[in-house]
Amino acid sequence: MTSHEDVFGQEAAVTCFAPGRVNLIGEYTDLIGGNVLPMPLTKGITVTAGPAASGIHAFSTAEEAKIDINLQDGKKDHWADYVAGPLVMAEKAGTTIPPMNLMVESDLPAGAGVSSSAALEVATLKALFALTGQDRSDTDIALLAQKAENEFCGVKCGIMDQMAVSVGDQGHALALNCETLEWDQVALPAGWSIAVIHCGEARQLTDGAYNERRAALDAASEELRPHPLKSQSVEIAKKLSDPLVARRVRHVLSEQARTLRATEALRKADMSLLGDLMNESHESLRADFEVSTGSLDRLVAAAREAGALGARLTGAGFGGCIVALVAESELEPWWHAVSTECPAAWAVEL
Ligand code: GLA
Task: Please list the residue range(s) of the chain that carry CATH number 3.30.230.10.
Answer: 4-187
Q: What is the predicted pLDDT for the residue at 110?
A: 78
Greatest extent of the chain over all pairs of C-alpha atoms, in Å: 64
Query: Which atom in ligand 1 lies closest to the alpha carbon of residue 160?
Result: 9
C-alpha–C-alpha distance, residues 32 and 251, integer Å: 12
Q: Is there a cis peptide before residue 98, judged by omega within 30 degrees of 0?
A: no
Report how far Cα 109 is from the mean position of its chain's Cα atoms: 13
Which regions of the chain are under pLDDT 50?
Answer: none
C-alpha–C-alpha distance, residues 136 and 182, integer Å: 17
Instruction: Dihedral sign for Cα 99, 105, 108, 111, please.
Output: positive
Q: Is 270 noted as a catalytic residue in this protein?
A: no
Fold of 4-187: Ribosomal Protein S5; domain 2 (3.30.230)
C-alpha–C-alpha distance, residues 153 and 123, integer Å: 17
240 CA → ligand 1 middle, Å: 24
> Over the stretch 2-33, which tens digit does the pLDDT of each residue have?
899 999 999 999 999 999 999 999 999 999 99
210 CA → ligand 1 middle, Å: 8
C-alpha–C-alpha distance, residues 327 and 250, integer Å: 31
Task: Please list the residue range(s) of the chain that carry CATH number 3.30.70.890.
Answer: 192-349
The DSSP bridge partners found for residue 347 are 197
Q: What is the predicted pLDDT for the residue at 50?
A: 98
Among the residues of the chain, which ranges form H helices?
4-8, 81-92, 116-131, 138-147, 160-167, 207-224, 243-267, 271-287, 294-305, 331-341
Backbone angles phi, psi at 319, to 5 degrees: 105, -170
21, 22, 121, 160: which to mutate for ligand 1, most atoms within 8 A of CB? 160
Residue list, ligand 1 pocket, CB within 6 Å: 27-28, 30-31, 157-158, 160-161, 315-316
To 10 degrees, what angle do helices 207-224 and 243-267 make?
A: 100
276 CA → ligand 1 middle, Å: 22
Q: What is the predicted pLDDT for the residue at 113?
A: 87
Q: What is the predicted pLDDT for the residue at 81?
A: 96
> Over the stretch 254-307, which tens digit does the pLDDT of each residue have?
999 999 999 999 999 999 999 999 999 999 999 999 999 999 999 999 999 999
- The CATH classification of domain 192-349, taken from the options 3.30.70.890, 3.10.310.10, 3.90.105.10, 2.30.42.10: 3.30.70.890
Torsion of CA 324, 205, 59, 49, to 10 degrees: -60
Q: What is the predicted pLDDT for the residue at 109?
A: 87
Q: Among the options 161, 184, 207, 218, which is catalytic?
A: 161
